Structure 1
Amino acid sequence: MTDVLIKRLSIASLSLLLVVLIAVLCIVWTMPDSNQPDSDSEICLQNDNNNVECGKTIDLLHAMFEKEIESAYAGAEKQEKIQTEKYIKDALQHDVHLMSDYKNTLWSMKPSAKLVGVREQIKHVQGNDSIATVTCWRHDKDLYYTTGFQRYGIRYQNGRLIVPVSGTYYIYSFLGLTERRLTDEGIPVEPKNMREIKHALHKYNVLDTVDMEIASNLQSRKNASRGYFNYYTSQIATLAKLRAGDEISVMLSDETLLENTGNNYFGLHLI
């Protein structure tokens, strides 16, 4: 009697297990397929609210990059203000009198830079067929003892000024250009290029991968009636809204005109 009861219980258990397995298989087969994000164009990141946010890779990374840059700049600016305030308090405790105008300028720490041209003559073999980036600038430590400067996060790389924070910037550039007219013996030099001279300011951002013209100046070539050289001057000044990471450069259609660059300058500052 006991063996029969055990056998019946075993059969009932196996039957119940079989029913459960069949139910699980039915649930799995009927589940809808979940949409997986495309790894080539989409990404999922955790936002400030600890929620996962999915979207286009470029857009999310761009937003995160700009947010981190702004946060780092704000933190640095806050630390600068704390240190400056401490310095003022310490100075006043030791009876050091600071002028109020000077004290007020300590709070204005906006990114700015002015590059000046190198004084040596630059011989450009190429560059008269298409517009090219002007790279003959003094920068960083080379600006010491000159009228140039780089302040509060502005970086220089390959002829470009890189802005650290988004905002509206005043951008300017001046070029003095020289073209040989006569040889030392007084023989006329045949011009190699009669195209118009274009001087421009360009903007580039690694997120856009597109080089964009901000402003430009176009002028015709001339032939002086006396002297050994033809001289040209070109100046550009404009306002532009820039993003953190934008790279600003000076472009010229004929680099052979950059024979004497000591008086050239190029800069920008946040307004």
Structure 2
Amino acid sequence: MVTMSVKLLKRFAGANLLLLLIVLIAVLCIVWTMPDNKQIDKDTEICLKYDNKNIKCGRTTDLLLEVFEKEISSAYATAEEREKIQTENYIKDVLKHDVQLMNDYKNTLWDMKPSAKLVGIREKPEHQHGNAGMTTVTCWRHDKDLYYTTGFQRYGVRFQNGRLIVPVSGTYYIYSFLGLTERRLNGEGIPLESNNTQEIKHAMHKFSVLDTADTEIASNVQSRKNATRGHFNYYASQIATLVKLRAGDEISVKLNDVTLLQHIENNYFGLHLI
């Protein structure tokens, strides 16, 4: 009887050992066949719920910046839409009760468009030299110096380092006129030798703070004269064009030979939101 019980216990133990071995083999097979998952470094990577559906993982700084920009864009769009609706409701309400007030409101909006016209200053000009031989013309009357002149600076347009800075985004009419003088003869009527034979280039440039880039918008190029009379050669250069600008963009006038700026009080440079 005892011998039989021992045999049964041995068989039971053997069966359990075999079952355990099968389970271990199955676990090893599952582990070996599982795909390798990249470990997320909590210090440099993060996972966030994206588009309310999927989980997106990536570098912490990049992912947070992307989410931040998305939220900011959404907030600005919401605010802009809300402001548009409020303005439309206000205009509709005014139109119902007071047509004259509605006309005054539209006229005020038209008059408040940013605009500026700078005129040349009489003092000896100082200039900022730029790349490729182009120099920023900085000899402009601005702000309070425009009083009692034909120039003006209105509704948020600022002047800094020879540049006009626009306050709001939109399409602008920009323009510039330069009267240029080149001496041909000295006081005794003897021709002066000049080694400068390059063409005269007058250009308007845009500097974008967001893109940190200075780009040419429009230019006027003319050859130098070979006059046979008079002590001076005179040149007139004018630029006028339409350009789409963003708030903060800076508009400047550039010239490739600032020695031609002898009589600058008749020069002007400006812009107007259309």
Place the TM-score, normalised by the shorter chain, in its bin: 0.5 to 0.7
For residues 120-135 of structure 1, what are the structure 2 equivalents within 5 Å? 120-122=123-125, 130-135=133-138
Structure 1 residue 206: deviation in Å?
1.7
The superposition leaves residues 64-121 of structure 1 with CA deviations (integer Å, 9 ceiling, x where unpaired) of 9xx69x98xx9xxx9xxxxxx9xxxxxxxxxxxx9x9988643321000000001234
CA distance in 1, matches of 2:187, 2:238: 30
Taking structure 2 as the reference length, the TM-score comes to 0.64
Larger Rg: 2
The superposition leaves residues 33-76 of structure 1 with CA deviations (integer Å, 9 ceiling, x where unpaired) of 1624464xx4747xxxxxx9245xxx999x69xx69x98xx9xx
The residue identity in structure 2 corresponding to 1:135 is T
Q: Please report the RMSD computed on the Cα atoms of aligned residues, expressed in angstroms.
A: 3.7
Q: Is the 8 A contact 1:136 1:159 kept in 2?
A: yes
Taking structure 1 as the reference length, the TM-score comes to 0.65
Distance 1:123 1:141, change over 3 A: closer
Q: Is the 8 A contact 2:114 2:273 kept in 1?
A: yes
Distance 1:230 1:103, change over 3 A: same
The superposition leaves residues 173-203 of structure 1 with CA deviations (integer Å, 9 ceiling, x where unpaired) of 0000000111111111111311000000100
CA distance in 1, matches of 2:194, 2:131: 11
Alignment counterpart, residue 204 of structure 1, candidates 196, 204, 207: 207
CA distance in 2, matches of 1:43, 1:141: 48
Alignment counterpart, residue 228 of structure 2, candidates 225, 235, 238: 225
Which position in structure 2 is the counterpart of 1:81? Answer: none
Distance 1:121 1:127, change over 3 A: farther
Structure 1 residue 223: deviation in Å?
2.2
**Greater Cα shift, 112-121 or 122-131:** 122-131
What SS does structure 2 have at the residue aligned with 1:107? Answer: helix
Alignment counterpart, residue 159 of structure 2, candidates 139, 156, 167: 156
CA distance in 1, matches of 2:119, 2:207: 21
Q: Is the 8 A contact 2:127 2:135 kept in 1?
A: no
Percent identity of paired positions between Structure 1 and Structure 2: 63
**Residue segments in structure 1 that go unaligned for 5+ positions in a row:** 1-29, 46-51, 79-84, 86-97
Q: Is the 8 A contact 2:114 2:272 kept in 1?
A: yes
Alignment counterpart, residue 67 of structure 2, candidates 53, 66, 74: 53
Distance 1:251 1:168, change over 3 A: same
By relative contact order (CA 8 Å, sep 6+), the higher-ranking structure is: 1
**Residue segments in structure 2 that go unaligned for 5+ positions in a row:** 1-36, 47-58, 88-93, 95-99
The superposition leaves residues 227-252 of structure 1 with CA deviations (integer Å, 9 ceiling, x where unpaired) of 11100000000000001110000010
Distance 1:156 1:141, change over 3 A: same
The superposition leaves residues 154-183 of structure 1 with CA deviations (integer Å, 9 ceiling, x where unpaired) of 000000000111100000000000001111
Aligned length: 206
Alignment counterpart, residue 193 of structure 1, candidates 177, 196, 214: 196
CA distance in 2, matches of 1:203, 1:123: 20
What SS does structure 1 have at the residue aligned with 2:133? Answer: coil
Distance 1:223 1:124, change over 3 A: farther
For residues 97-116 of structure 1, what are the structure 2 equivalents within 5 Å? 105-108=107-110, 109-116=112-119
Which position in structure 2 is the counterpart of 1:258? Answer: 261
Q: Is the 8 A contact 2:114 2:166 kept in 1?
A: yes
The residue identity in structure 1 corresponding to 2:199 is E
What SS does structure 1 have at the residue aligned with 2:259? Answer: helix
Structure with the higher helix share, 1 or 2 = 2
CA distance in 1, matches of 2:261, 2:208: 27
Which position in structure 2 is the counterpart of 1:174? Answer: 177
